[in-house]
Amino acid sequence: MPSPMFRPLPRRKLAAVTTALPDGGHGAPAIDPYLWLEDVMGEAPLAWVAAQNAVALDELQGRPEYAPLRERLGTILDSNERIPHVRRHGAYYYNFWRDANHVRGIWRRTTLASYALPEPQWDTVLDLDALAADEGENWVWHGVTSLYPAGERCLVSLSRGGGDAAVVREFDVSSRCFVDDGFQLAEAKSDVAWIDADTIFVSTDFGPGSLTTSGYPRIVKEWRRGTPLAAARTVFEAATDDLGVGAWKDFTPGHTHQFISRQIGFYSSELFLRDGNGLTRIDKPLDANAFTVRDQLVIELRSDWTVGDSTYPQGALLATGLQAFLDGTRRFDVLFAPTATSSLDGVAATRSALLLNVLDNVKNRLVELSHVDGAWQRRDVDAPAFGTLEVSALDEIESSQYFLTVTDFLHPTTLYLAEAGTDARAPLKSLPGFFDAAPYQVTQYHATSPDGTRVPYFVVMGADAKLDGSNPTVLYGYGGFEISLKPFYSGVTGAAWLGQGGVYVLANIRGGGEFGPRWHQAALQQHRQRAFDDFIAVAEDLGRRGITSPRHLGIMGGSNGGLLVGAALTQRPELFNAVVCQVPLLDMRRYHRLLAGASWMGEYGDPDDAAAWDHIARYSPYHNVSADRRYPRVLFTTSTRDDRVHPGHARKMVARMREQGHDVLYWENTEGGHAGAANNAQQAQMWALTYTFLLNQLR
């Protein structure tokens, strides 16, 4: 279903709507003839989708590779040997689990002692399959927030079909029932947080004027139990053109605080401390993140910050006493400062320490910080020195223990139980080897972008593969929103691609966060072409090294990565023989008018601004695809239920390319939201279609 900000018009009216497109040089008509495909649930667009799906499914499911591949991927995705990651609520550790017998999933719990056993004793708390059947809904699990400290009262979010919009219901764990007279919210992109047993913060669709232009709530209210939502008291209102707003409570004994966050844009925000009915603005840079850890205020910088006679560098992590800061003191301890090759990849707080996850040349290492007698003590954690590390605290208020996840391309992911203050850790769970990793090797190379920037990328390939340009290769990239792409273990990739003789390449292009804010900001807005240049440079470098050649090279990306491969497709089609474009942005003239698109103008710029559009128009795939050029074959995939990136992007691009005579395939899943799939069976289908397409194009 469309988000509240998208009001579909009947087709007869849509057909009369015109969209001004740039004149000259971009191959686009003055009027968009495919605007009617933006009507997400319209009868005519859905009939068009059904026809396109039939063509793609008939071809790909008819290939001999498809059926065994789908069966194998289904076995991997449903495997009982997967790691059941848990989150603590009160005394128990909860996991949401899907498999062949629990298609929509079960929410279950166990104790930590039981979780450490090879076969934990699980207690099912909520069966989503049974709930969906009872209520006649296609529920998809969207998460839960519990009331500290007991964790027995929860606010459960359920999405219809996997979209971002969800209903919220209060759930009583002890009785295994939803609370009849409890807190409930209708379907919306809501944000909720507990204040106490009878009060919550709520940001939701309160009616006309309550949403931002991005489709997110702009008003935070305090809602008391037993009162109607309409009577909830307003705490804060953001501006209509802000991104959104949220609120939460820090329950740390002795350091209990309430906070309001005004998200102005994707990279700018204000933070307010709520004291009674008053709000105190935390005096931080707008583009910095800030949070509290007990008595300390921690600030993460996205740009240089000069305070008094001190300048703190972009990408640094600072700390100071919260009360002293509120009193006007501006003296900070520098907890982390970036280098040319390192950036801060994450921060986790336990009861006794801060754990800094540092990314150094796209490999993680851990640093532990303890605040003792007013000073920070630092030590390096003796963690595995390869691949990717992820850290999550068991409970940042009560426990010094944390989960450490270790993974890379060829070693199955292992989950450890660790504790601050020591390097000792105990393995809890590990994936099986879903594919034989022995024949493969991982190498990190660098390509040189046109402006001289060295761009790292990983190659996973057979150790005995010949460097004669004949290897079928998939190049994956993202390059946006300061998101880092790191080594990962995937049974799907291993079985469906590496095991079929393929080479997998992961590109760490600008726009991502691999080297901190500077790496991201280097490809922002008018500099977006740098991300595409980096990706193309990696593709060319693969050819120079003999790893592959255009005949055997495919590219794949989703969401912002869908824009990336769409731009690469239209700019350098001769470099590739296959493109997989997933849940993509493609019409960059209208992206800010579709669903959550307005929230991304900080990333791409405002197409309604002439200067910004001059840059955007040069790469917008929908406006640069041409009947006069020859393109590699493309598989576009999206979801009807994607209420973040509008499916109209992919629909219109396919219609346009088909009109121009290009050979493309299109598959739109009816469920799945922005993930593209709502359950394991749909994931197996999606990936089997994807890799069947790539195998047939690139071998």
DSSP β-bridge partners for residue 368: 355, 379
Residues 6+ apart with CB under 8 A from 413: 83, 405, 406, 407, 430, 431, 489
DSSP β-bridge partners for residue 569: none
Tell me the DSSP string of 652-668: HHHHHHHHTT--EEEEE
How far from 307 is each of 82, 281, 375, CA to CA, in Å? 49, 17, 21
How far from 399 is each of 120, 396, 416, 418, CA to CA, in Å? 21, 6, 15, 11
How far from 257 is each of 124, 248, 468, 518, 685, CA to CA, in Å? 33, 9, 62, 32, 46
149 prior amide bond cis, ω within 30: yes
Q: For 25-38, b where at least 16 C-beta lie within 10 A, e where not — what string? A: ebbbeeebebbbbb
Dihedral of the alpha carbons of 74, 78, 84, 86, in degrees to the nearest 10 = 90
How far from 646 is each of 6, 583, 598, CA to CA, in Å? 10, 8, 12
3-state SS string for 197-250? CCEEEEECCCCCCCECCCCCECEEEEEECCCCHHHCEEEEECCCCCCEEEEEEE
Ranges of beta strands (E only) in 238-361 are 244-250, 257-265, 268-275, 278-281, 289-293, 296-300, 305-307, 310-312, 317-321, 333-336, 342-349, 354-360
| Angstrom distance (rounded) from CA 457 to CA 445 | 5
Closest CA to 65 of 637, 691, 699: 691
- Name the residues annotated as catalytic: 559, 674
Tell me the DSSP string of 102-114: EEEEEEEEE-HHH
DSSP β-bridge partners for residue 144: 156
Residue with tokens 């019409």: 587
Report angle CA 270, 276, 279 to the nearest 5 degrees. 20
